[in-house]
Structure 1
Amino acid sequence: MGILTGYAGTYESAQSFGIYRFTIDGETGALTEPKLYYPAPNAKYVSLQKGKIAAPVERHKRAGICLVDLSAKDPAAEVFCEEQTACYVIQDGPRIYTANYHEGTVMVYEAQDKPGKEQDKSGKGLRLLKRIRIAPAAGCHQVILHGQYLLVPCLELDKIRIFDGSRNYEPAGEISFPAGSGPRHGIFNRDHTRFYLVTERSNELYTFRVDENAGFYQLDSRSVLPEKGTREDDTAALRISPDERFLYVSTRGSDLLSVFSLEDELPEAVQFVSCGGRHPRDFAIVPGGKFLLVANRFSNNLICFRLGGRTGRIKEICDAVTLDEAVSIVFDPESRKAEESYEGK
C-alpha cells in the first residue's frame, strides 16, 4: 500500500488546535508524528470526500463548519450557523450534514462555487440549506445515509429519527430502543441489507435486517463487553472490515476494543482487547485491511494495531504517536505524502 496520509480531528485544548495530518506505512504500520494541518478549534469529527475535508469549527463564540480543499488551491470555506459545535459531520456530494448533540438539530449545508449570502471572502464557500429541528438536547449523535433517507441516532430520546431527503427532509419514521439505552452510532453493510448500531449507555450491539422498502427488523441485541456493563462504560464507535467478515467496537469506560464475527446470521463475539490507552473514541481500519488505528482521547495518542487477516483478531501494537484530545480519523485514498502545513501554502 505504500505510504498513506491520514487526518485526525481533535477537541480544542492547550495542546490541540484543529485538524492534524500524519502518515502511516501501509506495510509496517509505522506512523509519523501528527502535525497541525488546518487550525479549526473543536474540529472533533472529520469527513473526507473527493479531496475535501469537512469538520466542525468554533471561532469567536460562533460555531459552524469548515470545508478544506486538500489541493490547497483555494482557501478554506467556513460558515457559522450553529450555537455549539456539532459532534458529527458527513459529506454526500455537495451536501454536508452535521449532527448537533446539544442543540438537537441536524444541519444540511451545501458547498458553493459562486459567492453567496453565507460564505467566506474567497469566492467559494458554503450555505445553509436546511435546519432540521428534532428536540432540544435530543442528543443527535450521527447522520447515516441510506438512499434518500437520513437516519439520526438520538441518544437522549432512545430513538433513531428518519428523514426523507426527497421530500425536503420531512420526518419519515423512527426506530425505538429501550429506555436508557442511548443509541449512538450505526453502520450499514455494503448493500444495505444489514444495519448494526451500538448504544452508549447499555453497551449493546443491535442487528437489523433491512428490506428494499427501507423497513428495519430487529434480529438481535447483545452486549459488546465481556461482562454486562453499566452506563459508565460508554460504547462509542463501530466499523466493518473491508471484506465484511468482522465488526469492531470501541468502549471508552472499559478502554476496550471488541471484535465480532459476521460470518453467521448474527454477530458473534470473538475477542475483547485493550485499546492501548485510555478512552478510545473513533478508530479506523487502514486501507488495505492490515491495521486498525485507534484515537485514545484521554491518553492523548494514536495506537496502530496489526490485524490478523482471516481471523479478524486484533494483534500486537505496531506503533504509537502522541496527539492531544484525538477524536476521529480518516485516510486520503490518494495517499499523498505531504508534510507542509495548510497555513504554509
Structure 2
Amino acid sequence: MQLNKISKCLSLILVLLILVGCKSKKETTLLFVGSFTDKKPGEGIHVYEFNTETGEASFKFTLDSVTNTSFLKLSKNGKYLYSVMESQMPYHGKIGSFAVDSINGKIDLINIQDCGGLNPAHLEIDKTGRFLANSNYSDGSLSMFRINENGSLNPHSQVIKFKDSSIIKNRQEASHMHSSNFSPENNFLFAHDLGADKIRGFNFDITAQDSILQNENQIIMKPGSGPRHFTFHPNGKFGYSIAELSGKITAFNYIDGQLEFVEDYQSYQKQQDIYRAADIHISPEGHFLYASNRGPEEDSISIFSINLDDGRLNLIGHEPTYGNHPRNFAIDPSGKFLLVANQFTDNIVIFRRNIKTGKLTKLSQEIIVDKPSSLQMRKYSINL
C-alpha cells in the first residue's frame, strides 16, 4: 500500500516537472536593422522583438558609435550576426562579427576585420557556416573569410579584384561587385557585377587553403542591365536575378553550377527613364517572388507567382512601399509578414502577407528608424 502511494507521488512529481519544463521554453522572433549613419559614428544596428501574430515590433537594443553598418547577415544557426562597417568611405571598410543574445534581444561585438576593399555592400555565408563572402562595390572585388567556431572572423584569406565595364558610363565605368550567393549544393559561388553586366561563377572549394574560389565562369547579362541581387528558389532548381539599371528580373534554370536563361520580367509597374531596382526574395513556401523598386518615380514591391514546373513568373501586382527608396526588405520566418526598409523616409513599413494569394496588406503600425538599409529576421527558441 505504501509503495503504491510512493509510486503515485513520483508519477505526479514527474508530470509536474514535465509541465514546468514545457513552460520554461519561449519562442521569439527578432528583427535586426542595419542603417547608414551619414558616414560618421552613430546608431547603426537596432534590434526589435517582432510579434508574428499582430505584426507589432518592440524595441530591444541599439548598437551605437558605429559607421554605416549598411548590410547585415545572420549565421544559419542564428547565434552570430555579421555586418559591413564603414561602407561608402574613401578607405577600406570592415566586417564586424557579433554574438546574438536572443534572451535579452541584444548583440555583443566579437571582432572586426578589414574587408579587403572599398565599400563593402553585401555579405553571404555558405551552407556549412564556416565561410563568409563579402562583395566590395567601389573597387570591384570579392573577399573570402573563414569563420571560427566562436563566430569570430579570421583575416580575409582571398581577395579577387576585377577590371571591367559596360555601356552606362556614369554607373558602369568599372567593375562593381554588389552581391554573391552560394549554390544550393554549396559547390559554387555566383557573384553579381553591376558594373560589368556579368554574373561571375566560381567553384567553391572548402578544402583549399587560400584560393577558396576557383575557375571563374562568366555569365553575360544584357548590356546596361546592372545585375544587383539574386536568390535561389528553395527547391534548388531555379534562380532569379534583379537588375538595378534595367529594372528587370531574370529567371534561370539552375543545373549543376550552370545558370540557363529562361525569361526577363519587368519589375516596375510603369516604364521609366531611370531604374533603381534593389532587392529580391522568395516566400518560405516557394510560391511567390517579391522585388523592391526604388524610385525615382515609383517606390514599390512587385509581386509574382512562381510556376513550380518551369520557374516562370506571373505578375500578380504592385504594392507601394509608403516611403522612399526601399533598399531592402524581408519576409518573417512565419511567412505571414513582409517588412520594407525605406531608407530616405526613415521608416520600416509592415505588410501582412496572404500566404495563398501572395498579396500584401499594409498594417497601421510601422517602425521609425534613421536610414534603414538592411533587415534580418529569425525565430529563436529560448530556455527560460
Q: Assess same fold via TM > 0.5.
A: yes
Distance 1:285 1:74 in 2: 25
Matching residue within 107, 123, 132 for 1:89: 123
Point out the more displaced range, 1-10 or 102-111: 1-10
Q: Tell me the residue number matched to 1:164.
A: 203
The letter of the residue matching 1:162 is: G
Q: For the structure 1 residues 113 and 256, does the alpha-carbon distance in structure 2 shift closer, same or farther, using more than 3 Å as the test?
A: closer
Q: Tell me the residue number matched to 1:141.
A: 178
The letter of the residue matching 2:180 is: V
Q: Tell me the residue number matched to 1:66.
A: 96
Distance 1:277 1:74 in 2: 31
Q: Tell me the residue number matched to 1:263.
A: 307
Q: For the structure 1 residues 68 and 315, does the alpha-carbon distance in structure 2 shift closer, same or farther, using more than 3 Å as the test?
A: same
Distance 1:66 1:274 in 2: 33
Task: Find the residue that maps to 1:294 and give its secondary structure.
Answer: strand
How far the C-alpha of 1:3 sits from its partner, in A, is 4.0
Contact 2:42–2:65 (CA under 8 A) maintained in structure 1? no
Contact 2:33–2:373 (CA under 8 A) maintained in structure 1? yes
TM-score, normalization: structure 2? 0.79
Q: Tell me the residue number matched to 2:114.
A: 80
How far the C-alpha of 1:164 sits from its partner, in A, is 1.2
User: 1:71-119, CA deviations, whole angstroms, 9 ceiling, x for partnerless residues?
Assistant: 48974211124343300012221211100010111110112469xxxxx
Contact 1:152–1:161 (CA under 8 A) maintained in structure 2? yes
How far the C-alpha of 1:230 sits from its partner, in A, is 3.0
Is 1:228 the counterpart of 2:271? The answer is yes
Unaligned runs of at least 5 residues, structure 1:
115-122, 338-345
Q: For the structure 1 residues 285 and 31, does the alpha-carbon distance in structure 2 shift closer, same or farther, using more than 3 Å as the test?
A: same
- RMSD (CA atoms): 2.6
Q: Tell me the residue number matched to 1:342.
A: none
Task: Find the residue that maps to 1:298 and give its secondary structure.
Answer: helix
Matching residue within 289, 294, 317 for 1:247: 289
Contact 1:203–1:223 (CA under 8 A) maintained in structure 2? yes
Task: Find the residue that maps to 2:118 and give its secondary structure.
Answer: coil
Show the 5 A alignment for 1:177-256.
Answer: 177-211=221-255, 213-231=256-274, 233-253=275-295, 254-256=298-300
Distance 1:238 1:38 in 2: 29
The letter of the residue matching 1:141 is: H
How far the C-alpha of 1:128 sits from its partner, in A, is 1.4
Distance 1:286 1:200 in 2: 24
How far the C-alpha of 1:300 sits from its partner, in A, is 0.5
Show the 5 A alignment for 1:89-168.
Answer: 89-92=123-126, 93-112=129-148, 125-135=153-163, 137-146=174-183, 147-166=186-205, 168=211
| Percent identity over paired residues | 24
TM-score, normalization: structure 1? 0.88
Q: For the structure 1 residues 15 and 105, does the alpha-carbon distance in structure 2 shift closer, same or farther, using more than 3 Å as the test?
A: closer
User: 1:138-175, CA deviations, whole angstroms, 9 ceiling, x for partnerless residues?
Assistant: 11010110121110110010010111122731233111
Contact 1:5–1:336 (CA under 8 A) maintained in structure 2? no
The letter of the residue matching 2:94 is: G
The letter of the residue matching 2:86 is: E
Question: Larger RCO: Structure 1 or Structure 2 (Cα < 8 Å, ≥ 6 residues apart)?
Answer: 1
Q: For the structure 1 residues 184 and 336, does the alpha-carbon distance in structure 2 shift closer, same or farther, using more than 3 Å as the test?
A: farther
The letter of the residue matching 1:217 is: E
How far the C-alpha of 1:35 sits from its partner, in A, is 3.9
Q: Tell me the residue number matched to 2:372.
A: 326
Task: Find the residue that maps to 1:126 and give its secondary structure.
Answer: coil
Task: Find the residue that maps to 2:356 and give its secondary structure.
Answer: helix
Matching residue within 278, 297, 306 for 2:324: 278
Distance 1:263 1:124 in 2: 40
The letter of the residue matching 2:29 is: L
Distance 1:241 1:267 in 2: 14
User: 1:288-307, CA deviations, whole angstroms, 9 ceiling, x for partnerless residues?
Assistant: 11110111000011111111
Contact 1:236–1:250 (CA under 8 A) maintained in structure 2? yes
Unaligned runs of at least 5 residues, structure 2:
1-25, 165-173
